[in-house]
Structure 1
Amino acid sequence: MTTSTDVLATDPRAAHLAALDWVSGLAAAVPEDRMAGPTPCDEFDVRTLLAHLVTTVRRPAAIAAGTDPLAAPLVSEDVLDAPADAYVAEAAALHGAWSGPDAVELLDRTVRMPFGEVPVRVALWVYVNETLVHGWDLAVATGQPVEADPALATTALEVARRFLPAEPRGGPVPFGPVVTPAPGAGPTEQLANWAGRRR
């Protein structure tokens, strides 16, 4: 299992694609009558959460294409009519973008992220975490199973604890205080709790 001490030396592509696949399954199962419902991510209802998740696909797609990931807006408003379908389609397309012969070489290049410039492999681990946390948001909001693959979520939690300290939170750090996990919480829920999420 990957640990936080060696994560910078690893290839995050398989973890990222696994996270995308998990959320694609959740997105595909969201009924239309739940789209206006609330989510644990206070600023989004289900529809806008899905449209934000589309952005979290478009940004790594831009990295793979060698363009600026931050050109994609926080919420992909162009897909608001059918955000779940858009997520499933664009997440599937991303598999091809990261499997080409030049993709490995991309991992050690530098890319601009909201918090500064980092190697692409670090950026992808950030997107793994964001995908899983928002997947948990979506699962809770729509009454679906909240746990991704345990090994994947455990690794993501280790990464999150390294790159997102427990303090400070709020202000320039766009995460709430760490939430104590409920007894028996799985690693995906623990990851969401680390990001300040609660049911």
Structure 2
Amino acid sequence: MNATPATERPVSALPDLRPQLARAQQWVETLIAGVTPDQFDDPTPCEEFDVRTLIGHLYTGARRVEAMGKGRDARTVEFITDLPDGDLAAGYRSHTAASRLAWAGKDLGEPVTAPWGTVPGALAVGGYLQEALTHGWDLAVATGQPAEADADLAAAALAVAHRALPAQPRGGPVPFGPVVEARQDASPTERLVNWTGRSAADWMKRVG
């Protein structure tokens, strides 16, 4: 994600999206709870991940949010490749609870080190809202679950994506595919995943 355009704007223009991130993480938790072990090796719209490694990526994201809340460099958090035994949704919940605690009372104008660079805390939170919803959608469609997030969450994430993820260029340091033109009647979540280079229509046909 290229955060340069956002860092050039006043911090006061960046909203506090911590409540929205918490709700997005709760949605992801329900999706993880709906995954069955026989689906772990199934593909997802994010080509580098199957279902197992996508859940690991979601775990990693929650731990990186926590790290930034504690003033640490998110890039020092290693990718979780081995999922824990037991209740995966409960494991994810413990990570997201720790991340919320780390950000409670934090000044969102302070810079933090995200995987894509040093940005205001508010932008880092927004970036992980976008990631939680996008990868939540990935997990939902890959495992045959309802894939539509709350409209207000998707709209907030899309606003962040428009601000921080340019339409051009894509690829290389901006690891997203070209923007997919949204259908006229596309839902907010579909418009979000279209902006990140995913063809929602193609995947919905595949799982439908």
Alignment-derived partner of residue 206 in structure 2: none
Q: Whole-Å Cα distance in 1 between the matches of residues 103 and 163 of structure 2?
A: 25
Q: Is the 8 A contact 1:79 1:86 kept in 2?
A: no
Measure, in 2, the Cα distance between the counterparts of 1:168 and 1:55: 26
Contact 2:71–2:112 (8 Å) recurs in 1: no
1:90 Cα deviation from its structure 2 partner: 1.5
RMSD between superposed Cα atoms in Å: 2.1
Report how far residue 96 of structure 1 moved.
3.0
How many Å apart are 1:183 and its aligned residue?
A: 4.8
Match of 1:151 in 2: 152
Q: Percent identity?
A: 48
Number of equivalences? 191
**What is the rounded CA distance, in whole Å, between the counterparts of 1:13 and 1:114 in structure 2?**
18
**1:104 Cα deviation from its structure 2 partner:** 3.2
Which consecutive residues of structure 1, in runs of 5 or more, have no partner in the other structure? none
- Look up the SS of the partner of 1:155 in the other structure: helix
Task: Name the CA shift for 1:116/1:96 in 2 (closer, same or farther; >3 Å).
Answer: closer
Structure 1 match to 2:28: 23
Deviations 1:13-32 (CA, angstroms, capped at 9, x unpaired): 10111111111111111111
Alpha-carbon distance in 2 for matches of 1:85, 1:58: 14
For 1:68, the aligned partner's letter is: D
Partner letter of residue 35 of structure 1? Answer: F
TM (normalized to structure 2)?
0.84
Q: Does the Cα contact within 8 Å between 1:47 and 1:80 map onto a contact in 2?
A: no
Q: Match for residue 66 of structure 1?
A: 71
What amino acid does structure 1 have at the position aligned with 2:143?
A: T
The counterpart of 1:51, out of the listed 48, 53, 56, is 56
Deviation readout 1:67-99 (Å, 9 max, x if unpaired)? 2211112x3124265655432332233333333
In 2 relative to 1, CA 9–176 (structure 1 residues): closer, same or farther, beyond 3 Å?
closer
Conserved 8 A contact 2:72-2:113: no
TM-score, normalization: structure 1? Answer: 0.87
Runs (4 or more) in structure 1 with deviation over 4 Å come to: 4-7, 80-85
Provide the C-alpha distance between the structure 2 equivalents of 1:42 and 1:81, rounded to a whole number of angstroms: 25
